[in-house]
């Protein structure tokens, strides 16, 4: 009697175990989302040490109208003078015929085409690499574009982030940032959707390599890898939410 009962009980437990195992296998665990990283962004400065204190070198910037980034290569390798404009995810290659001369300021138009229409951006920078500026721009379909450009040096990688903001006004718009982790600084430009004018750039410090604090002391956002997120109350008692990702 005992010898017959044990095998039956064993078979029942075995079948139950297999059923449970199959049921568990049929359930697919949800995996956490992979954090965003900029696949095309560099991790080290592209600027050469010889250009740190002159007009030659690498300059990076963000713009709004609508949204994008730009990188100028002013004879960084002593030959190439080009610019690459990323406009709403599209790449526009620009070049200039104005040569660079050591010890001098640099002013030149950069031209190219987009959707078979001419694009022109005039860039200027002082002889020591100070005050890089987009003087004028003509981008078909994007009037009133505003640029903020900074110089990258051999020991300070400049990172560009494109993002958006939302307020409880309510108001929505573009919020783009350039920052340097090594220098602990950042600058941002913003524009409400549908507008053609912008407020002045906002400046601040990057505390502990993670927290964007504006000059007035307001914490704007937190930097996690290649992602910016934040929420704060502005001077009008409105809550502002920021989201952005590194694109250059």
With 80 as the cut, is the pLDDT of residue 10 above it? no
Euclidean distance between CA atoms 45 and 48, whole angstroms = 8
Run of H or E residues at 23: helix 2-26
pLDDT band of 21, cuts 50, 70, 90: very low
**Radius of gyration, alpha carbons of the chain:** 26
DSSP state of 215: T
pLDDT digits (tens, 9 = 90+) for 111-165: 999 989 999 999 999 999 999 999 999 999 888 899 999 999 999 999 999 999 9
Contacts of 89 (CB under 8 A, 6+ apart): none
Euclidean distance between CA atoms 157 and 113, whole angstroms = 29
Euclidean distance between CA atoms 50 and 43, whole angstroms = 20
Euclidean distance between CA atoms 46 and 29, whole angstroms = 42
In the prediction, which pLDDT does 38 show? 94
In the prediction, which pLDDT does 113 show? 94
Euclidean distance between CA atoms 97 and 109, whole angstroms = 8
State the DSSP string of 98-140.
PPP-TTS-EEEEEEEEETTEEEEEEEEE-TTS-S-EEEEEE-T
Euclidean distance between CA atoms 134 and 15, whole angstroms = 74
Euclidean distance between CA atoms 148 and 146, whole angstroms = 7
Q: Which of 7-11, 18-22, 156-160 has the largest mean confidence?
A: 156-160
Q: Report yes or no: 210 and 18 within 8 Å, Cβ to Cβ.
A: no
pLDDT band of 102, cuts 50, 70, 90: very high
Distance of alpha carbon 216 from its chain centroid, rounded? 23
Give the β-pairing of 81-87 and 202-207: unpaired
């Amino acid at each position: 009697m005992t010898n017959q009962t044990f095998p039956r009980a064993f078979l029942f437990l075995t079948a139950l175990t297999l059923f449970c195992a199959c049921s568990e296998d049929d359930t697919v665990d949800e995996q956490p989302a992979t954090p965003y990283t900029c696949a095309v962004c560099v991790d080290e400065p592209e600027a050469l040490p010889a250009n740190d204190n002159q007009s030659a070198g690498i300059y990076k910037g963000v713009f709004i109208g609508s949204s994008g980034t730009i990188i100028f290569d002013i004879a960084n390798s002593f030959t190439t003078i080009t610019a690459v404009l990323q406009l709403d995810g599209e790449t526009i290659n620009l070049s200039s015929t104005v040569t660079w001369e050591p010890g001098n300021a640099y002013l030149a138009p950069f031209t190219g085409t987009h959707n078979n229409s001419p694009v022109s951006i005039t860039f200027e920078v002082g002889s020591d690499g100070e005050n890089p500026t987009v003087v004028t721009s003509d981008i078909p379909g994007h009037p009133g574009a505003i640029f903020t450009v900074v110089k990258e040096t051999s020991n300070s990688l400049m990172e560009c982030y494109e993002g958006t903001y939302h307020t409880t006004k309510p108001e929505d718009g573009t919020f783009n940032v350039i920052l340097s982790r090594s220098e602990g600084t950042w600058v941002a430009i913003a524009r409400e959707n549908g507008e053609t004018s912008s407020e002045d750039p906002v400046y601040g410090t990057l505390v502990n390599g993670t927290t964007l604090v504006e000059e007035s002391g307001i914490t704007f956002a937190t930097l996690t890898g290649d992602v910016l997120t934040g929420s704060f109350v502005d001077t009008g008692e409105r809550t502002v939410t920021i989201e952005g990702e590194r694109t250059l």
